[in-house]
Amino acid sequence: MTDIIPVILCGGSGTRLWPRSRKAMPKPFLPLVGDDTLFTATLLRCTRDFGFADPVVVTGAAHLEHVESQLPDRDATKIIVEPEGRNTAAAIALAAFSVPEDSIILVCPSDHHIGDCDAFRTAAKEAAALAADGWLVSFGIEPTAPETGYGYLKQGEPISGSGGRKVARFVEKPDLARASEFLASGEYAWNGGIFAFRAGTFLEELERHRPQILEAVRQSVQAGRTEGQRFYPDAEAFARVKSESVDYAVMENTDRAAMMPATMAWSDIGNWQALHDAQECDEAGNSVRGNAELRDCSNVMVMSDGPRVSVVGASNLIIVVDGDEVLVCTPEGAQGVGKLSGAVNQ
């Protein structure tokens, strides 16, 4: 089998993790779980030591400095610098054009946390085998709660000789009642935005379903320029690309959609409560980063970049101190952090 090339997508910011995540230093580049940043951890999950090929990172000029300073192996990494964000279909197409068409690319968002890296790599290799057979493979993450913030994959018939299945249906973010049904049925998985594709197959399917995107990306690549490890697609051509997600542009339309089940303690760290859930806690469910003292507390998360945080008697609370901002929210309130003035007016 050919090498698996990790393609790391390093795009948008995460306002729901404000004030720690800010425009100038967004979520992927912060050490939110453990000592590594989410971006670095994503790269370290699939290195040569584990049998992967050198990675490709797709990012924007705004994040280039963070990307290059946090790369585990700068000389071995190709960096595609998008002139502007055009969503995932275009970003993946840029990566697919940059590698031999027989390569298997493993598309990974740079701002997720995966607790069980062995399970991730096992699923990645099984997904790659399916992709080599011409399937477009989504990771189908075993759901553990009726999340309304994720897309869901309904499992179809098994693909013989593999651990994968066809995708029967893609479902956009459901409401709580439907999400609960999905969870209870055992027939649905979360669509975590992790994919395995044969590069050539992906481009063929993109051409079939979104020829405009394929053509504009191709032109931006042809007119692009290389600078050391960096590749700059042509801005004028890229500006013509229609901004669409890979799910919407390709996965929901192709008849080659497959899913690879994965149980790997995954989290998109989509808000502060998700981060708390992903962290190691003490017996009382508390987790602390920085200078803090907790008395009679349970399920409290504290993160401080300086000031001491003293908490007495609190339960189910998130407290973040970052520079000149202090955030306090409940698990329910965590969803609303992105709407705060501080998060909006950065």
Binding interface with its own copies (CB under 8 A) = 19, 293, 295-296, 304, 306-314, 317, 319, 321, 323-330, 332-334, 336-337, 339-342
**Coil, strand or helix at 82:** strand
Q: How far is the CB of 332 from its own copies (least distance, A)?
A: 5
Burial of 184 by CB count in 10 Å (0-12 exposed, 13-18 middle, 19+ buried)?
exposed
User: Per residue, what are the HEC states of 236-301?
Assistant: HHHHCCCCCCHHHHHHCCCCCEEEEEECCCEECCCCHHHHHHHCCCCCCCCEEECCEEEECCEEEE
Q: Which is nearer to its own copies, 9 or 311 (by Cβ)?
A: 311
Q: Which is nearer to its own copies, 221 or 294 (by Cβ)?
A: 294
Q: Which is nearer to its own copies, 19 or 26 (by Cβ)?
A: 19
Q: Which is nearer to its own copies, 185 or 310 (by Cβ)?
A: 310
Burial 12-49 (b: 16+ CB within 10 A, else e): ebbbbbbbbbbeeebbbbbebbeeebbbbbbbebbbee
Q: How far is the CB of 210 from its own copies (least distance, A)?
A: 39
Number of Cβ atoms within 10 Å of the Cβ of 182: 22
Distance between CA atoms of residues 81 and 229, nearest Å: 10
Q: How far is the CB of 144 from its own copies (least distance, A)?
A: 22
Distance between CA atoms of residues 77 and 210, nearest Å: 29
Q: How far is the CB of 295 from its own copies (least distance, A)?
A: 6
Q: How far is the CB of 345 from its own copies (least distance, A)?
A: 11
Q: How far is the CB of 318 from its own copies (least distance, A)?
A: 9
Q: Which is nearer to its own copies, 56 or 288 (by Cβ)?
A: 288
Q: How far is CA 78 from the centre of its chain?
A: 19
What is the end-to-end Cα distance of the chain in Å, rounded?
Answer: 47
Q: How far is the CB of 344 from its own copies (least distance, A)?
A: 11
Q: What are phi and psi of 3, to 5 degrees?
A: -65, 155
Least Cα distance to 99 among 240, 196, 4, 211 occurs for 4
Q: How far is the CB of 267 from its own copies (least distance, A)?
A: 20
Neighbouring residues of 236: CB distance < 8 A, sequence distance ≥ 6 = 223
Q: Which is nearer to its own copies, 250 or 303 (by Cβ)?
A: 303
Q: Would you say 286 and 294 are in contact if contact means Cβ atoms under 8 Å apart? A: yes
Q: Which is nearer to its own copies, 226 or 341 (by Cβ)?
A: 341
Q: Which is nearer to its own copies, 147 or 205 (by Cβ)?
A: 147
